[in-house]
Amino acid sequence: MALDITAARGAMTGARYIESLRDGREVWMDGKRIDDVPSHPAFSGMVNELARIYDLQHSSEFQDTMTFVSPESGNRCSMSWLIPRSADDLKKKRRNSEVWTSQSWGQLGRAPDVLAPYIISLYRSRGKLSSVKHPQCDFGENVGNYHRYCMENDLFLTHALGDPQVDRSEQPQNEQRARREEDLALHVVEETSEGIIITGGKQLATAAPISNETYVSLSATFTQRSDPKFVLAFSIPTNSSGMKILCREPVSIWNGSYGHPLGVSYDEQDCMLFFENVLVPWDRVFMLYDSEPLRRDFAAGINFTEWGNLCRIHERMKVMTTVATMIAESIGVLDYREVSAKIGEMVMYTEIWLHAMDGVEHGAHMEDSGVMALGSMTGMNIYFTQISARMVQILREVAGSGLIMQPSENDLASPELRPYLDRYLRGKGVDAEYKSRLYRLAHDLAVSSSGMRQEVYEYWHGGDPNRNRINLLRGFNQDATRSRIEDLISRPLPHG
Ligand SMILES: Cc1cc2nc3c(=O)[nH]c(=O)nc-3n(C[C@H](O)[C@H](O)[C@H](O)COP(=O)(O)OP(=O)(O)OC[C@H]3O[C@@H](n4cnc5c(N)ncnc54)[C@H](O)[C@@H]3O)c2cc1C
């Protein structure tokens, strides 16, 4: 049977996850192919951290929050994969995402609970996907089977939507561009009885080397293509033959025992994907040659789906605000008007985000697909691209030069240096050890290569913010206000 689940074991364990990455995948970093992903220093911190959180799914403390029993198999499955059928299901999914995001300090933009909703979103659209006919398969049915397969095996997905950033001088729907990009953008080379053969590149896919499956589709921009061979969505195992993963320079390699707590444990990696005549079996194809179903869903704001990202952003805001407060306390500046007003600004953003999340929950509704969906969240991702940078800036302004000048753990351990550190690098009522570790956490949020990568991520991860703002304007219904304004200006003022 397609995507068989008879051997599936439900919610992932840490050990099973680590083992699943030893499957011959082709991962490249700094000119070398990586033999063993889980033990490589660029990945081990992240992999072990995910393994730790996967194990929480089986702990007495979190099992009921993070898992549910599959009616079909009896397996305990991850709540990330639950298809919500009621408002209560949505609340359960929110609590699950709160666990994932608080455990990872709001640093994981592409955690398992963020990626599963991409497939749940497709599941919601399966009727529309089925309306595009192909003799080899039913796309909507494929999505249903694939969701079940991922849920029963608790698979961790990466996703890749954009074209390589080679030449953006023409719009994706332009015929001429399509011709010129034939060798660059991912496209169908041929159909066989087994599936489609694809070639091309994707920029980019976060968490690709540490994922089980690679979900490939098109962003709102790239669904507009004119040449059908570039229109495709599918998911394949990350070790598929012919697929190369190229990693960026890691931000996780640090030998100290303290110092970069976020970079070391939460470097998700960001990668280019190169596909060379890769076979995608028919039961893994979700869209082909016609993007109309996805285009309609993008117009309805589908691309910022579910709780994972909203909860993560809230956690990140709370962490940045509290770190800023602790830093200000540690050097005795919290009570200065300007400093507390700036941190108050961070609180304001954090509170507004929570109110917006509650509003999204309040707007939950049952869809024709039988899936309970969260209310509208248009605008939230764009709002965060703006205020994330502002919050990082405030943290820098509050922390001063200590953000850069802190002793290392080896400095602290040196008997010769330590008296100087205790005297000149202590804080107000806190010793040099506490202060330097706290400051280096702030450094990881606002200065280090890990912090900077995260900031770039926050800006781009929802797609081009300018394109999103334009789409927001285009979809914003102004009719009622417009007609009132037209009425107002159509006649003399009553008391003129
Ligand atoms: C850290 C990080 C992680 C990411 N993770 C993922 C992931 O896991 N999966 C995934 O699919 N994607 C991921 N992305 C990609 C992200 O979705 C893209 O960065 C985003 O969609 C913008 O595309 P681009 O980077 O190709 O920029 P470009 O589209 O090349 O934009 C560059 C500049 O050109 C302008 N521009 C481009 N085209 C036009 C146009 N037609 N008209 C006017 N101006 C234009 C843009 O506004 C921008 O100023 C990630 C990005 C980052 C930075």
Same domain? For 151 and 293 the reply is yes
Same domain? For 364 and 424 the reply is yes
Provide mean pLDDT across the span 173-178. Answer: 66
Q: Is position 490 within any domain?
A: no
161 lines ligand 1 (CB under 6 A): yes
Ligand 1 mutation pick, 163, 312, 464, 468, max ligand atoms within 8 A of CB: 464
461 lines ligand 1 (CB under 6 A): yes
- pLDDT bin (cut points 50, 70, 90) of residue 107 is very high
- pLDDT bin (cut points 50, 70, 90) of residue 181 is low
Range scoring the smallest mean pLDDT among 167-176, 209-218, 348-357, 377-386: 167-176
Residue 293 is predicted with a pLDDT of 84
Please give the residue range of the domain that contains residue 464. 306-481
Domain boundary among 255, 283, 299: 299
Give just the sign of the alpha carbon dihedral 233, 235, 241, 245: positive
Q: Which atom, in ligand 1's list, is nearest to the CA of 270?
A: 3
Same domain? For 212 and 355 the reply is no
Q: How many domains does the chain have?
A: 2
Residue 303 is predicted with a pLDDT of 46
452 lines ligand 1 (CB under 6 A): no
Query: How far is the centre of ligand 1, averaged over its atoms, from the C-alpha of 161 (Å)?
Result: 10
Query: Atom 37 (ligand 1): residue with closest C-alpha?
Result: 168
| pLDDT at position 148 over 60 | yes
216 lines ligand 1 (CB under 6 A): no
Same domain? For 249 and 337 the reply is no
Q: Is position 494 within any domain?
A: no
Q: Is position 488 within any domain?
A: no
Provide mean pLDDT across the span 460-484. Answer: 92
User: pLDDT tens digits, residue range 297-339?
Assistant: 765 555 456 899 999 999 999 999 999 999 999 999 999 999 9
- Asked if 273 contacts 118 with a C-beta cutoff of 8 angstroms, the reply is no
Query: How far is the centre of ligand 1, averaged over its atoms, from the C-alpha of 227 (Å)?
Result: 21
Range scoring the smallest mean pLDDT among 17-21, 123-127, 207-211, 491-495: 491-495
Same domain? For 271 and 175 the reply is yes
Same domain? For 258 and 397 the reply is no
Residues of the chain with pLDDT > 90, as a percent, come to: 81
- Domain containing 441 — which CATH number? 1.20.140.10
165 lines ligand 1 (CB under 6 A): yes
469 lines ligand 1 (CB under 6 A): no
205 lines ligand 1 (CB under 6 A): yes
Q: pTM of this prediction?
A: 0.94
Tokens 């006919």 belong to 133
Q: Is position 7 within any domain?
A: no
Query: Atom 10 (ligand 1): residue with closest C-alpha?
Result: 160
Provide mean pLDDT across the span 369-391. Answer: 92
Residue 294 is predicted with a pLDDT of 81
What residues contact residue 134 under an 8 Å CB cut-off, 6+ apart? 285, 288, 289
Q: Which atom, in ligand 1's list, is nearest to the CA of 170?
A: 41
Alpha carbon 28 to its chain centroid, in Å, reads 22
- pLDDT bin (cut points 50, 70, 90) of residue 179 is low
Ligand 1 mutation pick, 110, 461, 467, 468, max ligand atoms within 8 A of CB: 461
- Domain containing 210 — which CATH number? 2.40.110.10
Same domain? For 295 and 312 the reply is no
Residues of the chain with pLDDT > 70, as a percent, come to: 94
Domain boundary among 267, 299, 331: 299
- Asked if 412 contacts 421 with a C-beta cutoff of 8 angstroms, the reply is yes
- pLDDT bin (cut points 50, 70, 90) of residue 173 is low
User: pLDDT tens digits, residue range 408-432?
Assistant: 888 999 999 999 999 999 999 999 9
3-state secondary structure the chain: CCCCCCCCCCCCCHHHHHHHCCCCCCEEECCEECCCCCCCCCCHHHHHHHHHHHHHCCCCCCHHHHEEECCCCCCEEEHHHCCCCCHHHHHHHHHHHHHHHHHCCCCCCCCHHHHHHHHHHHHHCHHHHHCCCECCECHHHHHHHHHHHHHHHCCCEEEECCCCCCCCCCCCCCHHHHHHCCCCECEEEEECCCEEEEEEEEEEEECHHHCCEEEECCCCCHHHCCCHHHCEEEEEECCCCCEEEEECCCCCCCCCCCCCHHHHHCCCCEEEEEEEEEEEEHHHEEEECCCHHHHHHHHCCCCCCHHHHHHHHHHHHHHHHHHHHHHHHHCCCCCCHHHHHHHHHHHHHHHHHHHHHHHHHHCCEECCCCCEECCCCCCHHHHHHHHHHHHHHHHHHHHHHHHCCCCCHHHHHCCCCHHHHHHHCCCCCCCHHHHHHHHHHHHHHHCCHHHHHHHHHHHHCCCCHHHHHHHHHHHCCCHHHHHHHHHHCCCCCCCC
Same domain? For 330 and 462 the reply is yes
Domain boundary among 244, 270, 299: 299
Provide mean pLDDT across the span 66-90. Answer: 97
- Asked if 308 contacts 377 with a C-beta cutoff of 8 angstroms, the reply is no
- Asked if 239 contacts 170 with a C-beta cutoff of 8 angstroms, the reply is no
Query: How far is the centre of ligand 1, averaged over its atoms, from the C-alpha of 57 (Å)?
Result: 34
Provide mean pLDDT across the span 278-303. Answer: 82
Q: Is position 496 within any domain?
A: no
Q: Is position 449 within any domain?
A: yes
Query: Atom 34 (ligand 1): residue with closest C-alpha?
Result: 168
Phi first, then psi, for residue 276 (nearest 5°) are -130, 100
Average pLDDT over the chain, rounded to an integer: 93
